[in-house]
């Protein structure tokens, strides 16, 4: 084995070990017809919670709600199988709700005119290693109306393993 190949193997091993150690995981996102709309890479956020790095495509431009829902199941087209928001502490919905938030609540994100979104959203009260479903909605989360922020239909979903 050449030195160069050995170096590459070393780097790949180190990167995958680092990913395994911090619990980073990639979620495949699908639309209601079962087609891939990209990925979300989950990793521990620097100040606590979970960092959700979106790399999405083929979505409707504009702002969209994003949540972790409680059941790790994404059955299209409506994704009702994902259940309500992940909420182990039995709080009310919304990052701006005085009686909230759900642990699965996050801020909205923006899809560009070309239908893509490459942006990172933090779920400040979420933990790594929780089985759940990551759901994108058709509309915007108002961040305060229980139980789901008036965010509209579920348009994309990805199963988060443990
Ligand atoms: Cu949701
Ligand atoms: Zn919620």
Cβ of 53: how many Cβ atoms within 10 Å?
Answer: 15
pLDDT for residue 5: 52
How far is residue 160's CA from residue 131's CA, in Å, rounded to a whole number?
Answer: 5
Ligand 1 centroid–CA 23 distance in Å is 23
pLDDT for residue 13: 45
133 closest CA partner among 45, 70, 52 = 70
61 closest CA partner among 104, 111, 102, 19 = 111
pLDDT averaged per 10 residues, the chain (length 162): 51 47 85 98 96 98 98 98 98 98 98 98 97 98 98 98 80
pLDDT for residue 11: 44
pLDDT for residue 8: 43
**The tokens of 107 are what?**
């801020």
Ligand 2 centroid–CA 150 distance in Å is 10
DSSP string, 97-122: -TT---TTB---EEE-TTS-EEEEEE
pLDDT for residue 61: 98
Q: Are 30 and 36 in contact (CB under 8 A)?
A: yes
* Ligand with minimal distance to 86 CA: 2
List helix spans (H) across the chain: 3-21
pLDDT for residue 10: 47
Displacement of CA 109 from its chain's centroid (Å): 11
How far is residue 73's CA from residue 51's CA, in Å, rounded to a whole number?
Answer: 21
Q: What is the CA radius of gyration of the chain?
A: 17
pLDDT for residue 22: 61
* Ligand with minimal distance to 87 CA: 2
Ligand 1 centroid–CA 2 distance in Å is 50
SS3 24: coil
pLDDT for residue 2: 58
Give the chain's count of helices (H) and strands (E).
1, 9
pLDDT for residue 12: 43
Ligand 1 centroid–CA 84 distance in Å is 7
Neighbours of ion ligand 2 (CB under 5 A): 85, 93, 102, 105
120 DSSP β-pair partners: 53
Ligand 1 centroid–CA 139 distance in Å is 10
Neighbours of ion ligand 1 (CB under 5 A): 67, 135
pLDDT for residue 24: 87
Ligand 2 centroid–CA 18 distance in Å is 31
Domain 25-160: give its CATH architecture: Sandwich (2.60)
């Amino acid at each position: 084995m050449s030195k160069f190949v050995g170096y590459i193997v070393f780097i790949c091993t180190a990167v995958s070990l680092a990913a395994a150690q911090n619990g980073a995981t990639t979620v495949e996102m699908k639309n209601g017809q079962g087609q891939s709309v990209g990925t979300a890479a989950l990793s521990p956020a620097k100040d606590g919670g979970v960092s959700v790095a979106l790399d999405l495509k083929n979505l409707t431009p504009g702002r969209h709600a994003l949540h972790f829902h409680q059941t790790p199941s994404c059955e299209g087209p409506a994704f009702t199988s994902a259940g309500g928001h992940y909420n182990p502490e039995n709080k009310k919905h919304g990052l701006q709700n005085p009686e909230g938030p759900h642990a699965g609540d996050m801020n909205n994100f923006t899809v560009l005119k070309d239908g893509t979104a490459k942006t990172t959203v933090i779920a400040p009260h979420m933990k790594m290693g929780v089985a759940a479903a990551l759901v994108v909605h058709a509309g915007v989360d108002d961040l305060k109306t229980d139980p789901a922020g008036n965010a509209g239909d579920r348009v994309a979903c990805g199963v988060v393993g443990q």
